[in-house]
Amino acid sequence: MYDYEWDRLRTWLEQYIALDKSITSAQDITRLDLSAKSLKEIPKSIGILSKLLVLNLSNNKLSSLPESMKNLTSLKNLDIRRNNFNVLPECITHLNIGSLNASGNKLENIHLLQSCKELKVLDVSANALGKLDNFMHPDNELRTLNLSSNLIKDMSAFLLHLHHVERLNLSNNLLVKIPEEISYLQFIEEIDFSSNQIEKIDDAFFDLEVEIVNLSDNNLKELHLHSLVSLEELTLDENDFTQLSIEENFAPYLKEFSCDSCSLREFLLPQSKSLELLCYSSNSITTIPQVISRYEKLAYLDIEANSIEDLPDTLANLVYLQTFYVQGNPLCEHAKKVVEVLSPNICDLNMKSGITIELAKVKDLSQMAKLLGVLFTIEKDFTIDFEKQLAGIEALYEQEGTDLLVAKYENSVIGMITMQRLISSAEGGFVGQIEDLVVYEEYRQMGVGSRLINKIRVIAQEHGYKRIQLAADVDNSHALAFYNRRGFNKTNLSIYHYIV
């Protein structure tokens, strides 16, 4: 029998290139991406998609959804972010959705959510929510809640029904206190209260078993840190403290503690021996205590822009310290010697300013050929031959569809990267083949390689390349880790050479 509803819907979906050719009936559709199509309305016939699990309607101009959507009984994931909704669409009260993203609309209340008992992930950030009461059903399953960038002044009225919430983001609101009702968050693991106007924190907060807390950019003046026995990360940046103290029982497993720009005069010492990151930049600290050496696992220390003249010898005992920011202090010669002995991988004292990334010019080519020699000492498959490398680089420079970047310091080439355009039959278009990423050893650990790869990725985006790819020596563990960190995925392919 001919299905008029399906025929109408299929024609409409095809118009927005939202339908795969393999789809032959409404029952085949489980996922639908209709994002960024400038849609002002959705046809009623969408209600026939009874197998639909995921619906993405983000980045359109929708202000309502058809009532027929209540028939989407399989729908679990609905994305309506960045539309023009003033109120949540009524149809959601009939659905069993587990995830709703309604951020970036103009919502002023979300009480319809009381009917959404199965909701586990909710994002209503960047709306116009002000006064909120218990907007969730008492027996809700909500685990992740994002209420950031709204106009919320008081959270006490809605915390009661958030008993299962594990991640709560209330950053960028107008909160002035953390109330007693915070104790209802029995399963909370992560809270973000940054960029509010919080002045007071109720004692109940310190009994939470939360692991990550961000209280940066608030109006905290006095804070007495204690308990919080499960806490692993605490950020207090940009609070103008007149008094900040730490009790012995505070956060025994704390790993990260950040107090940048907090008007501190004293270097505070949390008791945790698990500390890996400690930030006290842009304060008025004058002395680093000798006992800092007790943080045996410390890997990142930032004391930039304080009033520190000397550093304790014990700092050199921090054998895991890899990153150390200390510039902007009136350091004496002894302090500089301590840094030298400590020899961290990354230290702003050792960083050279004025390294530029630019397109290679003809005059750079011979320096680039010389630099390739450094690369080929690492890669066993290649031998160093300056003339060959110069000929190769010159050919690359002349070739259409190639990009050559250099890192320069005081007019000398200290790093380079090249990219050649290839056609990929798999991707159905151009891809970029990256080669020859190398930086002189004395300029490594300064982020030069990262800047080269970032710049070449932007160029690849501008060219409209479908993918960028590279080959790395399997024995070069540093290079492999570097590419992994920057989002490159290892493939199953091996490279074979045949000398013609």
Partner 1 sequence: MRETQEVLEMQICECGEKNVAQAIEIFQNTSLPFKKAKKLVTGCNKSCCRVALMKLYDMKDFGRYDYDEIAYAIEQRLERLKRLSEGE
Cβ closer to partner 1: 96 or 323? 323
Round to the nearest angstrom and report the end-to-end CA distance of the chain.
Answer: 64
Tell me the closest approach of the beta carbon of residue 378 to partner 1, in angstroms: 21
Q: 45 or 58, CB closer to partner 1?
A: 58
Q: Pattern of binders to partner 1 over 73-92, x per CB under 8 A? A: ---------x----------
For partner 1, which stretch binds (CB under 8 A), given 17-25, 124-132, 367-375, 476-484? Answer: 124-132
Element (H, E) at 449: helix 448-463
By C-beta, is 238 or 364 nearer to partner 1? 238
Residue 29 CA to residue 8 CA, distance in Å, equals 15
Residue placing its CB nearer to partner 1 in the complex, 119 or 155: 155
User: Smallest distance, Å, CB 217 to partner 1?
Assistant: 5
Q: How far is the CB of 151 from partner 1 (least distance, A)?
A: 6
Say whether residue 104 binds partner 1 (CB under 8 A).
yes
* Cα→Cα distances 59→105, 294, 455, Å: 10, 51, 28
- Residue 357 lies near partner 1 (rule: CB under 8 A): yes
Q: Which of 319, 362, 426, 458 binds partner 1 (CB under 8 A)?
A: 458
CA distance 265 to 44: 64
Per rule CB under 8 A, count of chain residues that contact partner 1 = 38
Candidates 107, 152, 154; CA nearest to 130 is 152
Based on CB atoms, which residue is closest to partner 1, 360 or 365? Answer: 360
SS3 454: helix
Strands of 378-458 (E only): list them: 402-409, 412-424, 429-439
* Integer Cα distance of 188 and 168 in angstroms: 8
Residue 454 as a binder of partner 1 (CB under 8 A): the answer is: yes
**Interface with partner 1, residue 217, by CB under 8 A:** yes
- Residues composing the chain: 500
Q: Cβ closer to partner 1: 59 or 272?
A: 59
* Residues within the interface to partner 1 (CB under 8 A): 36, 59, 82, 104, 126, 128, 130, 149, 151, 172, 174, 194-195, 216-217, 237-238, 260-261, 279, 282, 304, 325, 356-357, 446-448, 450-451, 454-455, 457-458, 460-461, 486-487
